[in-house]
Structure 1
Amino acid sequence: MQTDKIINHIVDWLKNYATKANVNGFVLGVSGGVDSGVVSTLCAMTGLEILLLEMPIRQKEDQVNRAWEHIEDLKKKFSNVKAMSINLTPAFENLHATFDVNDADFPAEKLAFANTRSRLRMLTLYYYGQINGLLVCGTGNKVEDFGIGFYTKYGDGGVDVSPIADLYKTEVYALSKALNLVESIQNAIPTDGLWDVERTDEQQIGATYPELEKIQKEYGTKAEADYEGRDLEVYKIFSKMNKAAQHKINPIPVCDIPEDWR
């Protein structure tokens, strides 16, 4: 993997896009994970105005600590980086009380509230982006965005640009090393941070990112009958999630009206 070429390419792409859009730079959320760590560093390398938001909602202390360790490291290296902590827990608690749904009657209630956390963060990013003339920068990778749809629609999926959406998770980790991110970020176990009880991505999905990447690279050229053992298990996981995520992966369907009806 030619990490230096990829890094320079993404930085130039971000800078050119912001220039053409006539904006000051980018705003993004920093979670303490490797994706946001890499993207925030690439954004900082553009030399444009960068605003990093840490947005806790009932957040685990280790996630907050990792996020701020990375933020402080980045601020030391780049004078164009600013950061804020926006505590969204009170807003989330008010929504939780306002909706007042009995989860016994609605089994999907916990998932709905997990997605609500992500959508609150999206609203926050767009607010601070608009008042500062900044684009919202996404942090999704290729497996999450185009493989299994492991993101929240109109949450962390609601962005203006996606600089690492063509990179697999293992490639993002490779960039984190090439960019010399703090060790805690490089070694962070992937988690979406949307649940009160810690749930890693692997626990939620049932497979690791390297396992999913192997299937995604072959998807469409190999069928279920071509797999056995653990590969077959992961193929079934990937296939099921990919099919369920088509409403995220594909453009919003529009009902076309015949011209002679107008």
Structure 2
Amino acid sequence: MSNKTALHLEGIQTHIVNWLKTYAENSGVKGFVIGISGGIDSALTSTLCAQTGFPVLCVEMPIHQAESHVNRANEHIHQLKSRFPNVSNERVDLTPSFETFKNSVPTCENEAALSLTLANTRARLRMTTLYYLAGIHGFLVAGTGNKVEDFGVGFYTKYGDGGVDISPIADLMKSEVRQLAKFVGVPDSIIVAKPTDGLFGDDRSDEDQLGALYDELEWAMEAIENGKTTENFVGRQAEVFKIYQRLNKINQHKMQPIPVCEIPKSLRS
């Protein structure tokens, strides 16, 4: 829907890697831990972290995971370990923990609400696991969100995959993630795979859930930044614009700081 500007891929790669190195050095941490899903965002993030020379722990955390996701995750981890001696991996099967949780909490008759809540629970179990591993190793949890997900439509779980220490690729659009991933050597099978969060135990993609392609949502995000409104568009463009606006509005609670009820000074006198 829009013309993409050319990226200085080598410069962006160097910039992110140096940013990660500087942040780790200033924080006094020993390395990075990253959840590996088999998707392009985690593959790119882990590759950039590996290029810092700091230890990188790649963690696979299946919960009733589709075999295709597991295979892509394993392919990436194997490839990354063959390229970088500072990369190690762990596999933590969270399926039993997830099932124990499900059987310990009250059920819900609203199937849609239950399905979404359990999907978010999966993400939060993974976040807890990453922070456990980060804590025992003295690592930072590296986030894998991109710009349109994190700041456009809020397509992530609050205190799940949104619970991280640093966000190396959060200023890159999804299309830019694809370009940089190819440049740094992420396997083609991951680059061409349909994006999915894998939280529902089926084959639905991110774009099935969002109602629009990432490229379309990027176009809408840029259109709003350029001052465009719904009245400027018709047909599919108008539809996508409204989808973006709706998602951006309902997910502001993820993107904004936690609201604090400030007590007036007059009530403290």
Question: Shorter chain as normaliser: what TM range?
Answer: over 0.9
Map 1:1-20 onto structure 2 (within 5 A): 1-20=7-26
Q: Is the 8 A contact 1:129 1:136 kept in 2?
A: yes
Residue 155 of structure 2: aligned partner: 150
Map 1:82-97 onto structure 2 (within 5 A): 82-97=88-103
Q: Is the 8 A contact 2:130 2:141 kept in 1?
A: yes
Letter of the structure 1 residue corresponding to residue 205 of structure 2 = T
What SS does the aligned partner of 1:213 have?
Answer: helix
Q: CA RMSD in A?
A: 0.9
Q: Does residue 99 in structure 1 map to residue 105 in structure 2? A: yes
Q: Does residue 216 in structure 1 map to residue 221 in structure 2? A: yes
Deviations 1:114-139 (A, max 9, x none): 00000000000000000000000000
Q: Does residue 241 in structure 1 map to residue 241 in structure 2? A: no
The structure 1 segments of at least 4 consecutive aligned residues displaced by more than 6 Å after TM superposition are none
Residue 63 of structure 1: aligned partner: 69
Q: CA deviation at 1:87?
A: 0.1
Q: Does residue 161 in structure 1 map to residue 166 in structure 2? A: yes
Residue 131 of structure 1: aligned partner: 136
Q: Is the 8 A contact 1:32 1:188 kept in 2?
A: no
Q: 1:105 to 1:70 in 2, by over 3 A?
A: closer
- Between the two proteins, the alignment pairs up a number of residues equal to 261
Residue 183 of structure 1: aligned partner: 188
> What is the CA–CA distance in structure 1 between the aligned matches of 2:145 and 2:92, rounded to whole Å?
21
Q: Show structure 2 runs of 5+ residues with no match.
A: 1-6
Q: CA deviation at 1:258?
A: 1.8
Q: CA deviation at 1:106?
A: 5.9
Q: Does residue 48 in structure 1 map to residue 48 in structure 2? A: no
> What is the CA–CA distance in structure 1 between the aligned matches of 2:136 and 2:224, rounded to whole Å?
42
> What is the CA–CA distance in structure 1 between the aligned matches of 2:70 and 2:55, rounded to whole Å?
23
> What is the CA–CA distance in structure 2 between the aligned matches of 1:189 and 1:31, rounded to whole Å?
13
Q: CA deviation at 1:73?
A: 0.4
Residue 4 of structure 2: aligned partner: none
> What is the CA–CA distance in structure 1 between the aligned matches of 2:93 and 2:27, rounded to whole Å?
30
Q: Is the 8 A contact 2:66 2:202 kept in 1?
A: no
Residue 201 of structure 2: aligned partner: 196
Letter of the structure 2 residue corresponding to residue 212 of structure 1 = L
Q: CA deviation at 1:181?
A: 1.2
> What is the CA–CA distance in structure 1 between the aligned matches of 2:41 and 2:9, rounded to whole Å?
15
Q: CA deviation at 1:184?
A: 1.0
Q: Does residue 259 in structure 1 map to residue 262 in structure 2? A: no
Q: Show structure 1 runs of 5+ residues with no match.
A: none
> What is the CA–CA distance in structure 2 between the aligned matches of 1:165 and 1:253, rounded to whole Å?
23
Q: CA deviation at 1:105?
A: 4.2
Q: CA deviation at 1:107?
A: 3.9
What SS does the aligned partner of 1:219 have?
Answer: helix
> What is the CA–CA distance in structure 2 between the aligned matches of 1:250 and 1:158, rounded to whole Å?
14
Question: What is the TM-score normalised by the length of structure 2?
Answer: 0.95
Letter of the structure 2 residue corresponding to residue 164 of structure 1 = I
> What is the CA–CA distance in structure 2 between the aligned matches of 1:230 and 1:247, rounded to whole Å?
28
Q: CA deviation at 1:186?
A: 1.5
**Among 226, 241, 247, the residue aligned to 2:232:** 226
Deviations 1:33-75 (A, max 9, x none): 0000000000000000110100000000010000010000000
- The alignment-based identity, stated in percent, is 53
> What is the CA–CA distance in structure 2 between the aligned matches of 1:259 and 1:21, rounded to whole Å?
36
> What is the CA–CA distance in structure 1 between the aligned matches of 2:243 and 2:110, rounded to whole Å?
28
Deviations 1:230-252 (A, max 9, x none): 11110111000000011011111
